[in-house]
Homo-oligomer: A and B are copies of this chain.
Amino acid sequence: MNIKSLDFLKNTDNLNDSELIELTLSNFLRHDKKLYDVLFDSMSYSVSAGGKRVRPMLTMEFAKLCGGSRRAAAVFGSAVEFIHTYSLIHDDLPCMDNDDMRRGKPSNHIAFSEDTALLAGDALQSLAFEVMLCDDAVSLVGADACVKAASVLAYFCGADGMVGGQVIDLLYENKSANEEIITEIHLLKTAALIKAACMMGAIISGADKIQLKAAEKYAECIGLTFQIVDDILDVTSTAEELGKPIGSDEENNKSTLVSLLGIDKCRELSEKYTNEAISALKTFEGDTKTLEDFALKLLNRRN
């Protein structure tokens, strides 16, 4: 068996966090399978399609905050990024959002084919668990932390988390939703995976229950903020500034918190969540400036 090796992580002290994450992502996609390299090409295509690596960076920040290893954070952060990437590939498929473009490039199923894209997504989900559970990951953080971190990701990416959120979102595509339902969609579809990213960083670094709860709270609040700001920008921004068409929610008859509560109330709400996110960080003794800045950046973003 060719269970993933983490040898490539040796002598990486000189890399910054971002470089370490990119190195880890690309190494997990290396292969010697000439017979069907199209599968790995398809997986790599989407993983390297210019995502901002928000989730692995969050794993990294919480790991550092809890005194954990950057290498371990790169491994578990990659797992979250693989899950995020698979969800984007499946989201773009014709039977879902039917999007031909993603981040300015042809979607996976356009660049490859629908069947390959489907299978690449499936394989990325398996890969996420494979890298978190390989022998070298156990050596890095211990079996208990591996199990706990991987179980948190499994929970938050599945029916009780991200996938559940996608299903509710589909159910309310052409149906009006109330505030509670929209918030539930935001919590599951977006915040759940961010929770996993933050909590996993804490778990693999030996965080206690209170710290873990704080990581979850921070993640939930920035996840909710992200979605509300998204809905605000869809109304207030220009297509040029946003880099994608505006007014899509109204056009699609989609209920959003903005259409239900108005822009002012939504701005208020997103500020409240951001304050709560920053407050949650007080539990930690270390330097939380990067995470505070990130929360504020999400609140104040223009695109």
Task: Please give the residue numbers on chain A whose beta carbons come within 8 Å of chain B beta carbons, in ascending order.
Answer: 1-3, 31, 33, 35-36, 38-40, 43, 86, 90, 93-96, 109, 113-116, 118-119, 121-123, 125-127, 129-130, 133-135, 138, 143-144, 146-148, 150-152, 154-155, 157-160, 163-164, 166-168, 170-171, 181, 184
Bound Cα distance A155, B132 (Å): 11
> In whole angstroms, how far apart are the Cα atoms of A150 and B23 in the complex?
25
Residue of B2, B43, B160, B171 near A38 (CB, 8 A) is: B171
Given the interface pairs A95-B93, A114-B95, A115-B95, the reply to whether A154 lies near B126 with Cβ below 8 Å is yes
Residue among B2, B134, B147 making CB contact with A133, cutoff 8 Å: B147
Tell me which residues across on chain B come within 8 A of A135, comparing CB atoms: 151
Indicate how many identical chains form the complex: 2
Docked-complex contact A127 and B159, CB < 8 angstroms: yes
Residues of chain B contacted by A114 (CB below 8 angstroms): 95
Known contacts A126-B125, A126-B163, A159-B126; is A115 also within 8 Å of B170 by CB? yes
**Chain A residues touching B, majority SS:** helix
With both chains docked as a complex, state the minimum distance between the C-beta of A148 and any C-beta of chain B, in angstroms: 8
A40: chain B residues at CB < 8 Å are: 159
| Contact partners of A138 in chain B: CB under 8 A | 144, 147
Pick the residue among B86, B121, B146 that contacts A147 (CB under 8 A).
B146
* A86 / chain B contacts, CB cutoff of 8 Å: 122
How far is A160 from B157 in the complex, measured between Cα atoms in Å? Answer: 22
Say yes or no: A39 contacts B164, CB within 8 Å: yes
**Contacts of A151 on B, CB cut-off 8 Å?**
3, 129-130, 133-135
Assembled-state Cα–Cα distance A123/B2 (Å): 26
Q: Is B116 a contact of A170 with CB atoms below 8 Å?
A: yes
A122/B123 contact (C-beta < 8 A), A158-B130, A167-B116 known? no
Cα distance, A3 to B154, chains bound together (Å): 10
| Neighbouring B residues of A118 by C-beta, 8 Å | 90, 93, 95-96, 118
Which chain B residue shows the least CB distance to A35?
B168
